[in-house]
Structure formats: structure tokens, C-alpha cells
């Protein structure tokens, strides 16, 4: 029988290392202190944990490590009281963790169908476990038709998260990166502009009805891209997106993350597009 623990109660995790990803974004590698919980803990790509700082509070943070990685990674943008407090932590400090919570990405669909991954800004953090999983389970001698596109957009080159990892992703994915703008001193030679035009660089056409899309990023970005994908023949039931709301309890009891009749923390954060299409007000084509 698999060991269990009470996910509603916080457990201690120590910080093994901290990496500064961008000016205001940090990645924290954690190790669960309790051996029993460490053995029992398992998460699905797309789930999140509640990270807590004593005397300050807790915040929902997506898990950004791969399912089989030997560390538990969380990537945060410093924006509120909890994340500001976390930004002052150092390796060796201990924080509280509850979880994992929520529904993740439907990885079985990624195995069965052609996959398209689209991320904007910090939205790549909840998708990084998918990328790590697929990198580890790379199909040898995959045909060009089996290589999944990966589209990522950031405000500027210096805001690209996990920038040093994209070279390894290129071995498995057809990678396309764009930035909103680039200063001359950044020596950026890649795409500049919005993300939808990058869809013209990948081959969908006849494969569109059998393509599954995983999308995470700012809501306005996701609405725009979903409309573009529908116009290109993707089916609404094959589009999945990760939503963000003010999640306090992680278990659907406090009501802070209500999304119409759904709880983002419990029914999401990953939703099938068709289940929330009316809430996003994307025009079906």
C-alpha cells in the first residue's frame, strides 16, 4: 500500500538552491524534510503547491520541475507579500508546503496525439514539467510530423525564462520564440512581435483536427491564440489551458478562486477549453 499524508497540512521543505531567472523571477529547488512525506509525495504536470512563510501567509505556486526530477522546483515572480518574503530567503532556509493540488495536463493525450505547446511569460513554468517529461521520454528517430511545436513569447530577451534550456528542447521540439521588443544592446536576432504569426511557421493544416494544444500565459494572450487555433482547424475539445485565480485553500472550500461555477484550485487549474469557453468569450468558428 502506497504511503499517504494529509495534503491539507503544511510540511517542511528546505531550499537546496535558488536561481535568479530574470530581474523579478526566481526558481527555488526544494527538498521535503520528512522522509515519509518525501516518499509518498507525487505530482502530475500542471499541478501546484501552496508555499507558506510563517507570519506572512501562503501562495499557490505551480510546480516547474519534471515528475522524475530529484528536486521539487517552484518558479515565482516577486509580486506580493509571500513572494517578496520568499525572495529574501537563502539556501538552507525552510518554508512550508501543502499539496499537490488541482488537475494537471492530460498527459495521456500528449502520448496519443500530435501536441502543440504554447506559453507566454511565466506561463512556461506550469508547462516545464511537460517539457521535462517529453525530453526524458524522447522518441528515437521521430519523423518530422511527430516533432511537436513549442511556441514561447516573452516581453524582451532578458525576460525569457529557462533561457539556457531551450537548446536542449530543440532536440525534441520545433522551437519558436518571440519577444515584444528588444533593445539593440541585447543583440537579439530572433522573432520580434506577437505570438499568433508564429502559428504560420508550424505545419498544422490536415493535422489540426488531431492536434492537442497545451496553453498557459496571460488570459488575453490565451483568448487570442485560441481564436487563431480554432480558425486553423483545431477542435475545442483538444485545447487545454491553465488558468490563474486567487487560490487560498487549494481544496475548493474557501471560494476565493471561483470561476463562475468552477473552482480553479479544484476543477483546474488546467481546463478543457470547451468547459470554460463561455467564460473566456472566445468566438467559436
Q: Any idea what the CATH number is for the domain that residue 16 is in?
A: 2.40.30.10
CB 118 within 8 A of CB 195: yes
Burial of 46 (0-12, 13-18, 19+ CB in 10 A): buried
Q: Point out which residues pair with 152 in neighbouring strands.
A: 119, 177
Task: Return the ∠ at Cα 217 (arms to 121 and 119), rounded to 5°.
Answer: 70
CB 102 within 8 A of CB 266: yes
Pair (113, 96) in one structural domain? no
% of the chain at pLDDT higher than 90:
71
List of residues 6+ apart from 88 with CB closer than 8 A: none
Q: pLDDT-derived band of residue 282, with 50, 70 and 90 as boundaries?
A: low
Pair (137, 268) in one structural domain? yes
Q: How far is CA 70 from CA 29, 33, 60, 87, in A?
A: 10, 14, 21, 23
pTM, rounded to two decimals: 0.92
Pair (211, 117) in one structural domain? yes
pLDDT (average), residues 5-17: 96
Q: Measuring CA to CA, which residue among 196, 198, 183, 195 is closest to residue 153?
A: 195
Euclidean distance between CA atoms 175 and 159, whole angstroms: 17
How high is the pLDDT of residue 142? 64
Pair (48, 161) in one structural domain? no
Quick: pLDDT tens for 79-120. 999 999 999 999 999 999 999 999 999 998 776 668 999 999
Q: pLDDT-derived band of residue 146, with 50, 70 and 90 as boundaries?
A: confident
Does residue 145 or residue 83 have the better pLDDT?
Answer: 83
H/E stretch holding 278: helix 273-280
Q: Measuring CA to CA, which residue among 17, 49, 58, 14 is closest to residue 34?
A: 14
Domain membership of residue 2 (yes or no) is no
pLDDT (average), residues 263-272: 87
Domain range for 259 is 107-280
Euclidean distance between CA atoms 269 and 253, whole angstroms: 15
Reading phi first (left if > 0) and then psi (alpha if -120 to 50, else beta), residue 12 is in beta
Instruction: State the total domains in the chain.
Output: 2
Amino acid at each position: 500500500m502506497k504511503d499517504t499524508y494529509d495534503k491539507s497540512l503544511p510540511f517542511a521543505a528546505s531550499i537546496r538552491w535558488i536561481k535568479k531567472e530574470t530581474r523579478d523571477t526566481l526558481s527555488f529547488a526544494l527538498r521535503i524534510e520528512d522522509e515519509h512525506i518525501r516518499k509518498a509525495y507525487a505530482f502530475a504536470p500542471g499541478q501546484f503547491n501552496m508555499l507558506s512563510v510563517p507570519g506572512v501567509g501562503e501562495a499557490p505556486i505551480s510546480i516547474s520541475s519534471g515528475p522524475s526530477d530529484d528536486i521539487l522546483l517552484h518558479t515565482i515572480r516577486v509580486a506580493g507579500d509571500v513572494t517578496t518574503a520568499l525572495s529574501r530567503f537563502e539556501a538552507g532556509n525552510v518554508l512550508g508546503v501543502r499539496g499537490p493540488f488541482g488537475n494537471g495536463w492530460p498527459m495521456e493525450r500528449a502520448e496519443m496525439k500530435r501536441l502543440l505547446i504554447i506559453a507566454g511569460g511565466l506561463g512556461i513554468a506550469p508547462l516545464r514539467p511537460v517539457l521535462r517529461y517529453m525530453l526524458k521520454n524522447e522518441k528515437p528517430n521521430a519523423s518530422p510530423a511527430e516533432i511537436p511545436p513549442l511556441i514561447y513569447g516573452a516581453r524582451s530577451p532578458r525576460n525569457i525564462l529557462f533561457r539556457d534550456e531551450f537548446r536542449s528542447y530543440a532536440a525534441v521540439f520545433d522551437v519558436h520564440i518571440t519577444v515584444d521588443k528588444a533593445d539593440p544592446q541585447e543583440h537579439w536576432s530572433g522573432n520580434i512581435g506577437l505570438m499568433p504569426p508564429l502559428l504560420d511557421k508550424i505545419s498544422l493544416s490536415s493535422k489540426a483536427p488531431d492536434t492537442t494544444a497545451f496553453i498557459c500565459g496571460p488570459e488575453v494572450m490565451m483568448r487570442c491564440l485560441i481564436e487563431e487555433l480554432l480558425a486553423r482547424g483545431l477542435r475545442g475539445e483538444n485545447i487545454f489551458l491553465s488558468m490563474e485565480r486567487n487560490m487560498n485553500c487549494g481544496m475548493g472550500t474557501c471560494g476565493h478562486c471561483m470561476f463562475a461555477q468552477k473552482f480553479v484550485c479544484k476543477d483546474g487549474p488546467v481546463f478543457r477549453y470547451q468547459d470554460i469557453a463561455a467564460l473566456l468569450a472566445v468566438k467559436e468558428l
